[in-house]
């Protein structure tokens, strides 16, 4: 674990059928700064990669799950590992992200500085996300005000921003607040897990902060010629992922702690995306079946 002024941190990397080159690059970057654990979600060839993962000096553990239990459950296994090992901070990573130099130390320094200006406490801090395919940077979004939607400074800090949502990969969680906020919602399985957790944290009075002090290179969704995808309006996923994204967002529409501003923006966005897929995709039948099933099954989520 990394220690800085009495604070300990570690990283959790969740994998599923990973690209070996991208994963080992990320682990090599983490190995320079912090201890880490890898949670594998039942990948078919993880045994072939296991020796390369555990060869890193700062790999504390490779946890090989027998099946794909979902992103949320795998994240929770890693978070609980960090809690059991008395960490103060835990970093969460997807398998295909890449880091700027000194990412971990930059993030810990940034959260320590921002905490001075938070009333109840900072639940999580996220880095600036840059899509390596387009070099487009992702804004730190606000949902509840029409004219204050993104990149608004947090407490007059030039490189810190208020946020209503932080994506999972690269995010630093402040573990002392997790007992109050709760773990990731495992019934969501994969999509909108980070969105739901952020809404829950904000509803309890905690701050979410984004920072320009650290950069994460990460592509959200798949490559596509769709102009809405290329413009960053929506992410492209395969039909099976559309089931989870449809089911979970419909469920989130009915959750009391979801911001009204997000609902007002997301309903037309979801409708537009669904219509586009059903009208233009050669896989429109699969998309329709999964969107319909997702909407139907949303009521079954607790």
Interval 51-82: pLDDT, tens: 999 999 999 999 999 999 999 999 999 999 99
- Looking at residue 226, what is its pLDDT? 52
3-state secondary structure 214-269: EEEECCCCCCCCCHHHHCCCCCCCCHHHHHHHHHHHHHHHCCCCCCHHHHHHHHHH
Tokens describing residue 167: 């994506």
Q: Are strands 36-40 and 122-130 parallel, antiparallel or unpaired?
A: unpaired
Question: Environment class of residue 116 by beta-carbon count within 10 Å: exposed (0-12), middle (13-18) or buried (19+)?
Answer: exposed
Q: Using CA atoms, how far apart are residues 171 and 116, in angstroms rounded to an integer? A: 19
Which of the four pLDDT bands, split at 50, 70 and 90, describes residue 133? confident
In total, the chain counts a number of residues equal to 302
- pLDDT at 240 exceeding the cut of 70: yes
Confidence check: pLDDT of 234 > 60: no
Q: What is the mean pLDDT of the chain?
A: 91
Q: pLDDT tens digit string along 12-27?
A: 999 999 999 999 999 9
**2-217: CATH homologous superfamily?**
Spore Coat Polysaccharide Biosynthesis Protein SpsA; Chain A (3.90.550.10)
Task: Return the percentage of the chain with pLDDT > 70, whole number.
Answer: 91
Stretch(es) of the chain classified as CATH 3.90.550.10? 2-217
In the predicted model, what is the mean pLDDT of residues 185-196?
97
The phi-psi region of residue 242 (left if phi > 0; otherwise alpha if psi is between -120 and 50; otherwise beta) is alpha
DSSP state of 300: G
| CA distance linking residue 133 with residue 67, whole number of Å | 31
Q: What is the DSSP letter of 159?
A: E
């Amino acid at each position: 674990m990394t220690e800085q002024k009495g604070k300990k941190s570690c990283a959790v990397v969740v994998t599923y059928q990973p690209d070996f080159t991208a994963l080992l690059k990320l682990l090599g970057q983490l190995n320079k700064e912090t201890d880490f654990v890898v949670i594998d979600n039942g990948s078919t060839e993880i045994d072939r990669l296991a020796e390369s993962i555990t060869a890193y000096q700062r790999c504390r553990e490779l946890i090989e799950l027998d099946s794909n239990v979902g992103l949320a459950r795998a994240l929770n296994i890693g978070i609980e590992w960090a809690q059991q090992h008395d960490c103060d901070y835990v970093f969460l990573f997807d398998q295909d992200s890449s880091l700027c130099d000194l990412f971990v130390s930059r993030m810990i320094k940034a959260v320590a500085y921002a905490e001075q200006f938070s009333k109840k406490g900072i639940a999580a801090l996220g880095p600036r996300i840059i899509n390596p395919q387009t070099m487009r940077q992702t804004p730190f979004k606000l949902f509840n005000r029409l004219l204050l939607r993104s990149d608004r400074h947090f407490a007059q800090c030039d490189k810190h921003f208020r946020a209503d949502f932080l994506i999972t990969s690269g995010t630093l969680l402040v573990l002392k607040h997790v007992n109050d906020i709760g773990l990731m919602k495992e019934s969501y399985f994969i999509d909108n897990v980070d969105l739901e957790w952020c809404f829950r944290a904000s509803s309890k009075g905690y701050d979410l902060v984004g920072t320009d002090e650290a950069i994460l290179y990460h592509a959200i969704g798949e490559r596509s010629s769709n102009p809405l995808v290329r413009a960053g309006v929506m992410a492209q996923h395969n039909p099976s992922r559309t089931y989870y994204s449809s089911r979970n967002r419909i469920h989130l529409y009915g959750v009391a702690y979801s911001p009204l501003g997000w609902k007002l923006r997301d309903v037309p966005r979801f409708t537009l995306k669904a219509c586009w897929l059903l009208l233009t995709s050669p896989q429109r039948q699969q998309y329709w079946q999964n969107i319909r099933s997702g909407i139907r099954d949303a009521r079954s989520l607790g």
